[in-house]
Amino acid sequence: MIDANAESDGGVTFGGMVRIQQGEGETGATNGARFYARSGGLEVGAGNIWGALESMPGQYPIDLGLTGLGYEYTAYAFNADAYSSGGLGSSGSNGVEVMYSMGDFKAHISASDTNDRIAAYGAYTFSGWTVALGVQDSTDAGDTEMTATIGGTVGPVSIGLGYADNGTNGKRTVLSAGMDVGAATNVEAYYADDSLKADASYGIDFNHDLGGGTSLRGGVASKFNGQTVADFGVRFNF
């Protein structure tokens, strides 16, 4: 990721960012840029936006395995604007957004020409728990209409519960949990039910911190279509 920014004399930070992503058999290229202006707890973005529902707390309660293994533990099921990491100028939804945070409260509004989407969420954290509610208006009957999440800890276990009404794409409920099983290792698991799917989706993984920004990760999941998938590898963060 390349993030270039500068701060004005008035304390406003202006910047732009792009990401370089390359898969097997592909040539690395930058995606569409996201431009932003930030001051204190307020940020305005344009271009390849994050998207309000995509950024909402609790939509990604875990990070399963090395690759996400389908991300079927994401309640809104990608029926809203989201940042596109793909190369070759991929611009995602190409919209505008406003984010605001103050203390334990966060809010995010986004809009794009994709299905004339307008989405927003509000989130509040109290006593170690975060509750969030998101809504969206769209011309596509298959886009998410409402989603809600709650997440926190009970003893050594982190717990998440998410729900989304995805219009004609069904209603999805996701229960997730994770816990440390050693000084450097944790496990995560999820169970998801979708009103339009005959089978449930569920999975489990482990993450072991190797130090220096590296981790050994692996997982297995049974997807809504009945397919079982697995991955294993090392992630580098630098």
For 9-31, how does the pLDDT look when each residue is reduced to its tens digit (9 = 90+)? 888 999 998 887 666 555 567 78
d(CA 98, CA 23): 32
pLDDT above 90 for 75: yes
Q: What's the burial of 10, exposed, middle or buried (CB within 10 Å: 0-12/13-18/19+)? A: exposed
What are 194-238's pLDDT values in tens digits? 999 999 999 999 999 999 989 999 999 999 999 999 999 999 877
What are 166-180's pLDDT values in tens digits? 999 999 999 999 999
Buried b (16+ CB within 10 A) or exposed e, 115-151: bebbbbbbbebeeeebbbebbbebebeebbbbbbbbb
d(CA 28, CA 44): 28
CATH number where 110 lies: 2.40.160.10
Cα 79 to Cα 36, 54, 144, 145, 200: the distances in Å are 24, 9, 5, 9, 19
Range of the domain at 110: 2-236
Domain count, the chain: 1
Beta pairing class for 171-180 and 185-194: antiparallel
The whole-model pTM stands at: 0.89
